[in-house]
Amino acid sequence: MATLDFVGVEKSYGAVRVLHRVDLSVADGEFLVLVGPSGCGKSTLLRSIAGLEEISSGELRIDGKRVNDMAPADRDVAMVFQSYALYPHMTVRENMAFALRLKKHPETDSRVAEAAKMLGLEPLLERLPKELSGGQRQRVAMGRAIVRRPKVFLFDEPLSNLDAALRQQLRVEIKRLQTTLRTTTVYVTHDQIEAMTLADRIVVLQGGVLQQVGSPDELYNDPTNRFVAGFIGSPTMNFLEKIEAGVVIGVRPNDVVLGAGPLRGQVEVVERMGFESMVHLRVGGEALVVRVEGEPPRGEVQLRLERFYRFDPATGARLR
Amino acid sequence: MLLLTTAWAGEITLWHAYRAEEKLAIEQACTVWQTTHPGTTVLPVAVPYEGLASKLEAAIPRGNGPDLFIFAHERVAAWSEGGIILPVEALDGAMGSATTALTWERKTWGWPLSVKSLALFYNKKLVETPPGNEAALWELVGRPKPEGQFWLAYEVASAYHAAPWMHGYGGGVFSGEKVLLDRPENVLALAMIQKLASEVVPQEPTGALVTQLFNEGRAAMVINGPWMLGEISGVDYGVASLPVLSSGLPAAPYLSVEAAFLSRDSTEARELGAWLAGPEAAKIRQDVGRQIVARDDVESDDPVLNAFRKQATVAVPMPVRSEMGQTWEPLARSLRRLTRGAVTPEVAAAEAQSTYAILSRPVPPAAAPWPYVGLLVAVLVAAAVWFIRELRSVKIRPWSFAYLYVAPAFGAMTLLTVLPFVVGATISLFEQEGQGWTFVGISNFLDILLARDFPLSSPLSFVSTLAVTILWTVSNVILHVGIGVALAMMLREPWVKMRGAFRALLILPWAIPSYITALIWKNLFHQQFGAINALLKLLGAEPVSWFANFSTAFAANLTTNTWLGFPFMMVVTLGALQSIPRDLEEAAEVDGAGAWDRFRHVTLPLLKPALLPAVILGSVWTFNMFNIIYLVSGGEPDGTTDVLVSQAYRWAFTRGHRYGYAAAYAVIIFGVLVIYGRLANRLAGKKVV
């Protein structure tokens, strides 16, 4: 069992504060995804769990034990780096065995064999990283983490260097692994699809501030503010400011019904995607994207908003 | 046409190496002579001293030399035998000792101009009357003195400075025509030197130190030559002859005589040469050129010049026999041991003689060159065949421009590296004897490798020198790499402020010429005045005589060379570290590796590709590091810290010009390094050199 607790964690570089009072608990075996735009502090938060960044104040606990001043080596966490950070002078086998070898762990060989089997790396064990493809390297990086059976897995944008097809395949693999191993996992990404598909719970960060923590469904259906609403969900939510004075209306492209209704729009562009199409409308001078199944309309259409959210234009907070 | 010939015949060329006022004086003297010889033009040519001897030896046999030249008398024997100089009539009124110096095989070989010898300088404030005899000397130096003051300072361990005492006790290097360093008179002199060294003079005195002490008023008397005159400042001093010793003979230093030599005979040249050494020109040279003239009948108003002249009249001309060249090192070696108190005067004298016997051993017998010529021809033919075959298989045409581009570098390499190597390798098969060369085959190599002339354990032997060289190289490279890598790792740490400044500071030792660093460290290690012993004293430790033991002398060399060597490794490492992503170390950190494990398993293996060539390069540099060995320990004690290159240097230049033997050393060094390069390649598993 390994839980993870952030209590009022802050991090500053000189005068610049990159994390603001983060309070967060991760349950044992939970798959937590940190998501947010570049520079939002998600990587810093992850690296502070590993001990690669020191936190400026607050408390970080692994398994209920304060680890603020504990060296990375003693925290018993494993990390998969964006660059994979495989040791270039070691074979796949040596890479995976490295951590256990250091501890002279008796099960080193069997654990490596087991992990290699799990990840389909068996034929590659004697190769050097430079002889592997991107996807294979990524698997080795995961293998290196798995072998250790750590308390916590940390993933730092592990799929961002791969092409779309591979990314999708490995995403499934990561999910499968985590389901099998049930190890507490913190996963950083800027890709909200990865966040939605992998996470038990998602943490949305912006400017070093936690915006919302919740299950993918919660975040999708019940965003607490305009930022979360805009960040989660694909295609992204439309924001209309002219329909109701003093309120920003947020509506997802699939919550608009075309054909009849109080609003009127002009079709500007249609993106055909086969089964569905994205229809770009201009409504009262504002852009609105609508997802349509079947044949998209042309010219002028009538429409209504089936489901929408209301936000404060100044603070971005949800108005209920 | 007739006019032209007479004009040419009426010109006398005079080569000299004088500068400043001496040059002025000689030119003035020539002008004066010309007023009485209107038909003749004198052309004095100033030639830099460093190149003068070799220029003369090259030009005169080919008829391109001067009519007259001015040089020291030391080469009279070799030059008279080589036909470089012609005999002349002895000159009336010339100083007797100077004329003796120029006499060889019962002929006189030049007109003596000026003389140089050691004499006693004394600080008039501290010494009223300089000691005239040995008893007075001991009485004076036995008087109480303040701490840090010396009654007498001189280069007590130098063979040149030992000569006055040896001569004063009736000894000397030669007994008749033979070198006899261990005769009883010399032992007496060595006993006196040992007493002076242990009770009177400062420790490890160098020329610079002696001058400094005298200028600071800390040395009441020093023994030095006229070359110190220009360096004295702020001291009211006098010069006197060295004292008469208890033997009844005066302490007699070596005398160097500068003379005009005749190299192309003509009445005018003979006249001019004799006149330059005569009273009228002597007056000019003395008054204008400040020379100590080699005449008895010229008096100066300068008491210093008169004192030096007086000392010269009793001085012993520097022997001109070729054996002399091989006596310096044995004597110096024994003197160093003696003044350290390591041996008694008797043993020191006996050791000097036995070392001389080793160094002066006869040239190996001439070998029949035919087998070697045959071998060479065979090798050349094989090389030619191989080359032609290679040439045929290589298509030159498409790359002809590339060959053109490479040509200048190829030419330069041939001229600067290949040719000297071939010449050196050729010399190694010869040995010099007098002016000629004898082909001796590989006997130089056999002598060196089999240590035929001395036991294996002798510091002179190749095996023990190689062992020291290897120890020297290995310990240096370990320290250079260790410190260099450690500092580079440290400079990368984020908590290090002012990184740029530190980096520049740490590279500085590399940027300073190595001989300057070597000399600075040499002084830091000085037993009496060095900063390191001062520091030890401050910490309450006994001062160390750094160059008296192998281990401390080796450590001094090692410290100096490490100071010089680590910046290179640091720079290489800093560069290589740039290419190692920080991720890797972080990954290892998370993987549970501590700082040392991270370094050992991740950083170091990744530095290896960059470090390995640097290590090989560094070890070759260190292997051949002449400057430090020569300037810091100088091979002390007793040549034990010499490495192969400094050993080779000594054979070539301080042990009687054994060029063939030294060249064989150089070839062997080359061989050792080639083997090392091969081994290193194999160890590295790929080609780096």
Structure confidence by residue, pLDDT tens digits, B476-504: 999 999 999 999 998 888 788 888 888 88
For chain A, give percent helix, strand, coil, nearest 5.
30, 35, 35
- pLDDT per position in chain A (320 positions), as tens? 589 999 999 999 888 889 999 999 999 999 999 999 888 889 999 999 999 988 999 999 999 999 998 988 889 999 999 999 999 999 999 999 999 998 888 988 999 999 999 888 999 999 999 999 988 999 999 999 999 899 999 999 999 888 888 889 889 989 988 888 899 999 999 888 899 999 999 999 999 999 999 999 999 999 999 999 999 988 899 999 988 888 999 999 999 998 888 889 999 999 998 889 999 999 988 999 999 988 888 889 999 999 999 999 999 999 98
CATH homologous superfamily of A4-228 equals: P-loop containing nucleotide triphosphate hydrolases (3.40.50.300)
User: In angstroms, rounded to a whole number, what is the distance separating the alpha carbons of residues A68 and A9?
Assistant: 10
Task: Pinpoint the alpha helices (H) of B152-206.
Answer: 159-168, 184-199
The answer to whether the beta carbons of residues B572 and B610 sit under 8 Å apart is yes
Q: Which of these, B44, B52, B90, B92, lies nearest to B68 by C-alpha position?
A: B44
Same domain, yes or no, for B107 and B140? no
- Structure confidence by residue, pLDDT tens digits, B351-382: 899 888 888 877 778 878 888 889 999 999 99
Q: Do domains A4-228 and A235-319 have the same CATH topology?
A: no
Same domain, yes or no, for B224 and B333? yes
Q: How many CB atoms lie within 10 A of CB B418?
A: 11
Q: Is B609 on the interface with A (CB under 8 A)?
A: no
The answer to whether the beta carbons of residues B310 and B339 sit under 8 Å apart is no
| Least CB–CB distance from A103: residue in B581, B587, B592 | B592
Residue B42 has pLDDT above 50, yes or no: yes
Same domain, yes or no, for B99 and B37? yes
Lowest model confidence (mean pLDDT) among A86-90, B27-31, B433-437: B433-437
- Structure confidence by residue, pLDDT tens digits, B169-210: 999 999 888 889 999 999 999 999 999 998 899 888 888 889
Q: Which of these, B488, B495, B502, lies nearest to B603 by C-alpha position?
A: B488
Same domain, yes or no, for B154 and B72? no
Q: What is the DSSP letter of A63?
A: T
Mean pLDDT over B395-408 rounds to 81
Residue B3 has pLDDT above 70, yes or no: no
Residues 6+ apart with CB under 8 A from A224: A211, A212, A317, A318
In a mutational test of the A interface, the residue from B590, B601, B606, B611 whose CB has the highest number of chain A CBs within 10 Å is B590
Q: Which residues of A touch B597 (CB under 8 A)?
A: 102
Q: Is A99 on the interface with B (CB under 8 A)?
A: yes
- Inside any domain, residue B349: yes
The answer to whether the beta carbons of residues B55 and B73 sit under 8 Å apart is no
CATH of the domain at B333: 3.40.190.10
Containing structural domain, residue B649: 462-655
- Inside any domain, residue B528: yes
Q: Is B606 on the interface with A (CB under 8 A)?
A: yes
| Least CB–CB distance from B584: residue in A74, A78, A85 | A85
CA distance A232 to chain B (A): 30
Q: Is A176 on the interface with B (CB under 8 A)?
A: no
The answer to whether the beta carbons of residues B239 and B307 sit under 8 Å apart is yes
A50 contacts B591? CB cut-off 8 A: no
- Inside any domain, residue B672: no
- Inside any domain, residue B251: yes
Between the alpha carbon of residue A22 and those of residues A41, A50, A212, B167, the distances in Å are 11, 16, 11, 94
The residues with which A33 forms a beta bridge, in sequence order, are: A187, A202
Sign of the C-alpha dihedral, residues A109, A113, A115, A116?
positive
Half-sphere exposure of B352 (CA within 13 A, CB side): 29
Six-digit token string for B378: 């065979």
Q: Is B391 on the interface with A (CB under 8 A)?
A: no
Same domain, yes or no, for B78 and B219? no
The answer to whether the beta carbons of residues B556 and B575 sit under 8 Å apart is no
Residue B521 has pLDDT above 80, yes or no: yes
Q: How many CB atoms lie within 10 A of CB A186?
A: 25
Position A27 scores a pLDDT of 93
- Inside any domain, residue B376: no
The answer to whether the beta carbons of residues B665 and B644 sit under 8 Å apart is yes
Same domain, yes or no, for B124 and B180? yes
Q: Is B589 on the interface with A (CB under 8 A)?
A: yes
User: In angstroms, rounded to a whole number, what is the distance separating the alpha carbons of residues A317 and B124?
Assistant: 100
Position B122 scores a pLDDT of 94
Q: Where are the beta strands (DSSP E) in B164-296?
A: 174-175, 178-179, 219-224, 237-240, 254-262
Same domain, yes or no, for B499 and B571? yes
The answer to whether the beta carbons of residues A184 and A152 sit under 8 Å apart is yes
Q: Which residues of B touch A77 (CB under 8 A)?
A: 590
The answer to whether the beta carbons of residues A54 and A102 sit under 8 Å apart is no
Position B260 scores a pLDDT of 92
Position B53 scores a pLDDT of 87
User: In angstroms, rounded to a whole number, what is the distance separating the alpha carbons of residues B553 and A285?
Assistant: 91
User: In angstroms, rounded to a whole number, what is the distance separating the alpha carbons of residues A87 and A91?
Assistant: 8
The answer to whether the beta carbons of residues B102 and B50 sit under 8 Å apart is no
CA distance A129 to chain B (A): 13
User: In angstroms, rounded to a whole number, what is the distance separating the alpha carbons of residues B102 and B72?
Assistant: 10
Residue B21 has pLDDT above 80, yes or no: yes
Q: Is A144 on the interface with B (CB under 8 A)?
A: yes
Residue B416 has pLDDT above 90, yes or no: yes
User: In angstroms, rounded to a whole number, what is the distance separating the alpha carbons of residues B221 and A267?
Assistant: 112
Residue B326 has pLDDT above 70, yes or no: yes
User: In angstroms, rounded to a whole number, what is the distance separating the alpha carbons of residues B143 and B539?
Assistant: 31
- Inside any domain, residue B198: yes
User: In angstroms, rounded to a whole number, what is the distance separating the alpha carbons of residues A24 and A44?
Assistant: 15
| Least CB–CB distance from B606: residue in A50, A88, A102 | A88
User: In angstroms, rounded to a whole number, what is the distance separating the alpha carbons of residues A54 and A292?
Assistant: 49
Position B543 scores a pLDDT of 81
User: In angstroms, rounded to a whole number, what is the distance separating the alpha carbons of residues B180 and B184?
Assistant: 10
In chain B, which residue's Cα lies nearest the Cα of A102? Answer: B593
Same domain, yes or no, for B220 and B174? yes
Window A:69-88, CB contacts with B under 8 Å = 71-75, 77-79, 81, 83, 85-88
Total domains in chain B come to 3
| Least CB–CB distance from B589: residue in A73, A148, A154 | A73
Element (H, E) at B64: none
Spans of all domains in chain A: 4-228, 235-319
Same domain, yes or no, for B329 and B308? no
- Structure confidence by residue, pLDDT tens digits, B109-153: 999 999 999 999 999 999 989 999 999 999 998 888 888 889 999
- Give the distance from CA B52 to its chain's centroid: 18
Based on its alpha-carbon atoms, the radius of gyration of chain A, rounded to whole angstroms, reads: 23
For residue A253, whether the previous peptide bond is cis, meaning omega lies within 30 degrees of 0, is no
Q: Name the residue type at position B148.
A: G
Same domain, yes or no, for B207 and B330? yes
- Inside any domain, residue B456: no
Same domain, yes or no, for B540 and B610? yes
The residues with which A291 forms a beta bridge, in sequence order, are: A278
Window A:232-291, CB contacts with B under 8 Å = none
Task: Pinpoint the alpha helices (H) of B10-69.
Answer: 20-36, 49-59
ipTM score of complex: 0.86
User: In angstroms, rounded to a whole number, what is the distance separating the alpha carbons of residues B278 and B113?
Assistant: 8
Six-digit token string for B425: 């390798």
Six-digit token string for B520: 């600075």
Q: Which residues of B touch A87 (CB under 8 A)?
A: 584, 587-588, 601-602, 605
Half-sphere exposure of B84 (CA within 13 A, CB side): 23
Q: Is A54 on the interface with B (CB under 8 A)?
A: no
- Structure confidence by residue, pLDDT tens digits, B608-637: 888 988 998 899 999 999 989 999 888 888
Six-digit token string for B651: 């054979």
Q: Give residue B454's region: left, alpha or beta (phi > 0; psi -120 to 50).
A: beta
Residue B689 has pLDDT above 50, yes or no: no
A77 contacts B589? CB cut-off 8 A: no
CA distance A72 to chain B (A): 5
The answer to whether the beta carbons of residues A157 and B583 sit under 8 Å apart is no
For residue B494, whether the previous peptide bond is cis, meaning omega lies within 30 degrees of 0, is no
pLDDT band at residue B240 using 50, 70 and 90 as cut-offs: very high
Position B146 scores a pLDDT of 85
The answer to whether the beta carbons of residues A225 and A317 sit under 8 Å apart is yes
User: In angstroms, rounded to a whole number, what is the distance separating the alpha carbons of residues B647 and B654?
Assistant: 10
Task: Pinpoint the alpha helices (H) of A133-225.
Answer: 134-147, 164-181, 192-198, 216-221
Residue B154 has pLDDT above 90, yes or no: yes
User: In angstroms, rounded to a whole number, what is the distance separating the alpha carbons of residues B238 and B555?
Assistant: 42
CATH topology of domain A235-319: OB fold (Dihydrolipoamide Acetyltransferase, E2P) (2.40.50)
Q: What share of chain B in percent tops pLDDT 70?
A: 97
Hey, is A57 helix, strand or coil?
Answer: strand
Q: Which residues of B touch A81 (CB under 8 A)?
A: 583, 586-587
Between the alpha carbon of residue A300 and those of residues A258, A263, A295, B318, B611, the distances in Å are 10, 11, 15, 120, 72
Largest Cα separation within chain B, whole Å, is 101
Q: How many CB atoms lie within 10 A of CB B158?
A: 18
